[in-house]
């Protein structure tokens, strides 16, 4: 870090957040500026800390399940899936096939919803105001499906330990199929507005570069890692919930900049539609719940299960002491880990870049602070 | 009475007073139009609550602004903080005085009219810089610095584009510029075998940059600088900045229309058989269509609330009345000239809003690049090319 700035001028400390239009919640970034150039960006987090991991120690396994939805609240279904899989592994059971397929459908729908919200807010941060309303229009359809399935739209608590509480509702297949058919052309519509837009490219290409080595050093996962050219997706690497039965590709891009992350996420939405279309075609018959007792008492031991959440690797580390309550639950939230790399990405950029970079990480503060 | 009307000061004073009195209302309704148009681009309805289809929203907004607490930050320079919005508003309104709405209808026509307008918009920047500085806060400071850099750079390109027009028209007086277009039988945007169109495009881009609109709204840059230079302003002072911004949009639109689109002239001003279709039928149809739409909306509103339907119907009637005015032979020449001037400015404003709904924002350094590396050289080339072609045509 150069002590002297370019013109020998004073450094300016700019406190961005926790109340700021584009820090996606209550993130606070303390910027050290030379004019508009960023010398250093320090994240201050914790404004949304609710002690969710501690709460887990005072709840039974079932009682804690709704809490995980409040971490990454735009991808609550993924959170729930990860937790259920972890506890199921601890119990040594597996959800029945029908439940697994429904889980895949819901999780992929949720991935699309999460990416849509990301796209809208990211574009808004960069100054394109219109895509936000288009993506909200499509996200609404997904939320309607969630609402019809489990009654909630955001913090769904859709799954239960051992399977599902609710079976597929009447007309769900048609509704999901209709959504898939409607949604494909909509992705083209977003791309028409942004992908080849000269200003969009100027604002994102070469901004916030994170190479594959940097990603590995920081533990960055998800679309950021794939945009840096690493073909790593837990759905393929360690398939869970029957993901190995579906055909889909892992989109990657070589440059690891904001533009590539945008393209990767757009491609991921297309792949998710592909998975949903395959899954909805054959939902097997059978029970939706494995044999789980009313009281869940896993044997003593520990387990780590991770899934590919929309934002990266979401891991649950659960230690059981044999009682009805977990001894310790530790969550590996993708947003929190990915946010570490902010300083690395932002240095040398301009103030406008940090907004684009924060957007491209796709953080949810509920998950960062827990 | 006759003496008063024929007094040389009568018309300028009346126009001036009408502008000052009406302008806040007009600006507020432009904001409503902008919100409605943006809503239309963005698959939503926009303001719908206050009045039928949000027709009274501007008045509610203005009232709210007036009643708001006027906060001056403790660390601010009170005098400058108070004075800065005044500079912005004053310069923007002064520039209005030079706009020729029609051949007779303007406050003043001086032989350096265009120069005064450009000077006023340059001084107006001072209001932004001082405002950002006086707030003594980081976001406004960054906004003010961005603003000064941006406006200085784009003023150059804007000035060069204007020079192209002035060369063709042979005058700096706003009225004479329009008269020159009548004589040359062409709007200046299409003059010199299309070469002037380059100048017009440069003008358009710099004009959007001059008025701090997306994609050049860096001084405000909501997602980066919260509200830029206006961050610490509230209430009426904030309203003044707002007024100044919309005033400068109208002024710069007026300049563009006067210089490139033939001012108050109708399209093809020299083709006499178009006189009736364009000066009577078109405005009449325009207003009657608007009235018709209002009446239909009013009928639909009748189900919800009677007074809303009434208000909508009254709006429709007013629009129809304005349309019927064009049939009166007495008022007609001035009226249709005014119609065409405002219609073209309206098109400019529509274009600006459309751009806002479409494009992302530039970054500070890219903005400078475009200004100095592309626009200014291109504008210089346009000046040279137009000068050469103009000379060759003259000889």
Per residue in A76-114, pLDDT tens? 899 999 999 999 998 888 889 889 999 999 999 999 999
The position carrying tokens 């990767």 is A264
Q: How many other CB atoms are there within 10 angstroms of residue B338's CB atom?
A: 16
Given 3-state DSSP classes, what are the helix, strand and coil percentages for chain B, each rounded to the nearest 5? 75, 0, 25
Contact A124 B223 (CB under 8 A): yes
**A137: chain B residues, CB-CB within 8 Å:** 43
**For residue B215, which residues of chain A lie inside 8 Å, CB to CB?**
127, 199
Q: Give the CA dihedral A321, A324, A326, A327, nearest 10 degrees.
A: -40
- Say if residues A57 and A320 touch (Cβ distance below 8 Å): no
What pLDDT is stored for residue B279 in this prediction? Answer: 79
Report pLDDT for A8: 63
Whether the CB-CB separation of B159 and B203 falls below 8 Å is answered with no
What phi and psi, each to the nearest 5 degrees, are found at residue A46? 110, 0
Task: Mark yes or no for CB contact B359/A352 under 8 Å.
Answer: no
How far CA B332 is from CA of A61, B179, B259, in Å, comes to: 82, 19, 24
Q: What is the distance between the alpha carbons of residues B79 and B69, in angstroms, rounded to a whole number?
A: 18
Interface contact flag, A21 B215, Cβ < 8 Å:
no
Q: Which residue among A35, A129, A137 places its CB closest to the CB of B357?
A: A129
Which residues on chain B are in Cβ contact (under 8 Å) with A134? 42-43
Q: Cβ atoms within 10 A of the Cβ of A43, count?
A: 20
Q: A199 vs B364: CB contact, 8 Å cut-off?
A: no
Q: H helices within chain A, ranges in order?
A: 52-56, 61-68, 76-91, 97-126, 131-150, 172-194, 198-204, 212-218, 223-227, 234-237, 258-281, 334-339, 342-346, 351-361, 365-369
Q: Does A353 touch chain B (CB under 8 A)?
A: yes
Q: Is there a contact between A133 and B43 if contact means CB atoms under 8 Å apart?
A: yes
Query: Does B14 lie at the interface with A, CB-CB under 8 angstroms?
Result: no
Q: How many residues does chain A have?
A: 370
Contact A20 B44 (CB under 8 A): no
Which structure tokens are listed for A179?
A: 């959504």
| Helix/strand/coil for B379 | helix
Residue in A closest to B365 by C-alpha: A350
CA quadruple A137, A141, A147, A153: dihedral positive or negative? negative
- Residue A15 backbone phi and psi in degrees, to 5: -95, 105
Contact B189, B259 (CB under 8 A): no
Calpha distance B387→B393 (Å, rounded): 10
The answer to whether A119 contacts chain B (CB < 8 Å) is: no
Residue A1 has a pLDDT of 43
Residues of chain A found within 8 Å of residue B362, distances taken between Cβ atoms: 127, 199, 202-203
What is the residue whose two structure tokens read 């934002």?
Answer: A311
Name which of B40, B138, B363 to mutate to probe chain A: the one with the most chain A Cβ atoms within 10 A of its Cβ: B363
Separation of CA B265 from chain center: 18
Contacts of B226 in chain A (CB under 8 A): 20-21
For residue B63, CA distances in Å to A324, B20, B55, B66 come to: 60, 18, 14, 5
**Is any Cβ of chain B less than 8 angstroms from the Cβ of A22?**
yes
What are the beta bridge partners of residue A38? Answer: A33
Task: Give the pLDDT confidence score for residue B222 in this predicted structure.
Answer: 67
* Cβ within 8 Å of A, B 318-377: 356-366
Q: How far is A18 from chain B (nearest CA, A)?
A: 12
- In this prediction, the residues of chain B whose per-residue pLDDT falls under 50 are none
CB-CB under 8 Å, B361 with A199: yes
Least CB-CB distance to B363: which of A123, A130, A203? Answer: A203
Q: Does A293 touch chain B (CB under 8 A)?
A: no
Give CA–CA dist A1/B346, Å, rounded.
52
Low-confidence ranges of chain A (pLDDT < 70): 1-9
Answer yes or no: do A203 and B42 touch at CB < 8 A: no
DSSP codes joined into one string, B74-94: TTS-HHHHHHHHHHHHHHHHH
CA distance linking residue A127 with residue A108, whole number of Å:
28
* Rounded CA separation B357/B44 (Å): 13
Q: Which of A20, A130, A352 sits opposite B363 (nearest CB)?
A: A352
Secondary element (H or E) of residue B284: helix B282-301
Residue with structure tokens 């032989």?
A: B111
Q: What is the pLDDT of residues B289-326, one digit of tens each?
A: 988 998 888 888 888 888 888 888 888 898 888 888 88
H or E stretch covering A314:
strand A312-320
CA separation, residue B301 to residues A224, B305, B306, B316, B317 (Å): 51, 6, 7, 13, 16
**Could you give the dihedral angle defined by the CA atoms of residues A41, A42, A47 and A51, in that order, rounded to the nearest 10 degrees?**
130
pLDDT of residue B221: 66
User: Which value, in Å, is the radius of gyration of the alpha carbons in chain B?
Assistant: 22
Give the contacts of B369 (CB within 8 A, at least 6 positions apart): none
- Asked if A237 has any chain B CB less than 8 Å from its own CB, the reply is no
- Could you please state the CATH topology (level 3) that the domain comprising A49-338+352-369 is classified under: Cytochrome-c3 Hydrogenase; chain B (1.10.645)
How far apart CA B165 and CA B291 sit, in angstroms, is 37
Two structure tokens written together for B46: 């926009």
Q: Which two tokens stand for residue A277?
A: 């279309």
Residues B257-296 as b or e (16 or more Cβ within 10 Å = b): bbbbbbbbbbeebeeeeeeeebbbebbbebbbebbeebbe
Instruction: For residue B372, give the 3-state DSSP assignment.
Output: helix
pTM above 0.95, yes or no: no
3-class secondary-structure state, position B49 = coil
The answer, for A200 touching chain B at a CB cutoff of 8 Å, is: yes
Contacts of A188 (CB under 8 A, 6+ apart): none
Residue B70: burial class (beta carbons within 10 Å; 0-12, 13-18, 19+): exposed
Cβ contact B366–A203 (<8 Å): yes
Is some CB atom of chain B closer than 8 A to the CB atom of A20?
Answer: yes
* Alpha carbon distance A183, A217 (integer Å): 37
Q: Do B359 and A14 touch (CB under 8 A)?
A: no
Question: In chain B, what are the domain boundaries?
Answer: 1-67, 72-264+361-395
Rounded distance between C-alpha atoms, residue B28 and residue B171, angstroms:
34
Domain boundaries, chain A: 49-338+352-369
């Amino acid at each position: 870090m150069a002590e002297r700035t370019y013109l020998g001028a004073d450094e300016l400390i700019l406190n961005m957040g926790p109340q700021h239009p584009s820090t996606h919640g209550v993130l606070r970034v303390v910027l050290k500026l030379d004019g508009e150039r960023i010398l250093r960006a320090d994240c201050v987090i914790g404004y949304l800390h609710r002690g969710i991991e501690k709460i887990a120690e005072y709840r039974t396994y079932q009682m804690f399940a709704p809490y995980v939805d409040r971490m990454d609240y735009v991808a609550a279904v993924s959170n729930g899936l990860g937790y259920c899989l972890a506890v199921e592994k601890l119990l040594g059971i597996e959800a029945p096939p029908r439940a697994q397929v429904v889980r895949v459908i819901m999780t992929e729908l949720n991935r699309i919803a999460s990416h849509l919200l990301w796209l809208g807010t990211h574009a808004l941060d960069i100054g394109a105001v219109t895509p936000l309303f288009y993506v909200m229009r499509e996200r609404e359809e997904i939320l309607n499906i969630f609402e019809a399935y489990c009654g909630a739209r955001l913090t769904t608590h859709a799954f239960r330990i051992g399977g599902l509480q609710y079976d597929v509702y009447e007309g769900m297949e048609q509704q999901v199929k209709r959504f898939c058919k409607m949604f494909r052309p909509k992705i083209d519509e977003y791309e028409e507005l942004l992908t080849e837009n000269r200003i969009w490219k100027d604002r994102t290409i070469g901004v916030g570069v994170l190479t594959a080595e940097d990603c590995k050093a920081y533990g960055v996962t998800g679309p950021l890692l794939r945009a840096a050219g690493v073909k790593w997706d837990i759905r393929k690497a360690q398939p869970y919930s029957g993901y190995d039965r579906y055909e889909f590709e892992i989109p990657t891009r070589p440059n690891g900049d904001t533009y590539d992350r945008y393209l990767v996420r757009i491609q991921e939405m297309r792949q998710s539609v592909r998975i949903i279309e395959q899954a909805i075609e054959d939902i097997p018959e059978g029970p939706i719940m494995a044999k789980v007792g009313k009281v869940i008492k896993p044997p003593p031991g520990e387990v780590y299960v991770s899934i590919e959440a929309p934002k990266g690797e979401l891991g649950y580390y659960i230690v059981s002491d044999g009682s009805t309550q977990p001894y310790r639950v530790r969550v590996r939230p993708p947003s929190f880990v990915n946010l570490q790399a902010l300083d690395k990405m932002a240095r040398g950029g301009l103030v406008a870049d940090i907004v684009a970079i924060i957007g491209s990480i796709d953080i949810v503060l509920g998950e960062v602070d827990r | 009475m006759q003496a008063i009307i024929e007094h040389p000061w009568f018309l300028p004073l009346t126009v001036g007073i009408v502008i000052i009195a009406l302008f806040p209302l007009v600006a507020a309704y432009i904001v409503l139009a902008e919100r409605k148009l943006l809503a239309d681009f963005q698959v939503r309805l926009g303001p719908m609550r206050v009045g039928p289809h949000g027709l009274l929203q501007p008045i509610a907004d203005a009232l709210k602004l007036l009643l708001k607490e006027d906060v001056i930050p403790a660390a601010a320079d009170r005098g400058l903080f108070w004075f800065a919005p005044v500079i912005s508003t004053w310069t923007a309104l002064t520039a209005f005085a030079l706009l020729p709405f029609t051949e007779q209808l303007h406050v003043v026509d001086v032989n350096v009219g265009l120069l005064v307008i450009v000077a006023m918009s340059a001084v107006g920047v001072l209001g932004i810089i001082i405002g950002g500085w006086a707030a003594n806060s980081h976001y406004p400071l960054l906004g003010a610095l961005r603003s000064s850099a941006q406006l200085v750079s784009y003023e150059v390109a804007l000035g060069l584009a204007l020079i192209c027009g002035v060369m063709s028209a042979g005058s700096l007086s706003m009225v004479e510029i329009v008269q020159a277009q009548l004589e040359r039988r062409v709007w200046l945007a299409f003059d010199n075998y299309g070469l002037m169109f380059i100048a017009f495009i440069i003008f358009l881009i710099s004009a959007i940059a001059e008025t701090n609109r997306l994609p050049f709204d860096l001084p405000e840059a909501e997602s980066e600088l919260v509200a830029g230079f206006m961050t610490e302003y509230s209430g009426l002072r904030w309203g003044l900045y707002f007024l100044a911004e919309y005033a400068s949009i109208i002024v710069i639109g007026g300049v563009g229309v006067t210089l490139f689109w033939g001012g108050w002239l109708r399209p093809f001003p020299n083709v006499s058989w178009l006189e009736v279709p364009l000066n009577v039928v078109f405005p009449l149809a325009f207003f009657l269509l608007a009235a018709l739409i209002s009446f239909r909306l009013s009928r639909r509103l009748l189900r919800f609330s009677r007074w809303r339907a009434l208000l909508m119907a009254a709006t429709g009637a007013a629009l129809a009345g304005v349309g019927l005015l064009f049939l009166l032979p007495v008022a007609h020449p001035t009226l249709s000239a005014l119609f065409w001037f405002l219609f073209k400015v309206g098109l400019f404003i529509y274009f600006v809003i459309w751009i806002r709904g479409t494009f992302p924002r530039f970054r500070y350094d890219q903005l400078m690049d475009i200004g100095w590396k592309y626009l200014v050289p291109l504008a210089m080339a346009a000046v040279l090319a137009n000068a050469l072609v103009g000379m060759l045509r003259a000889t």
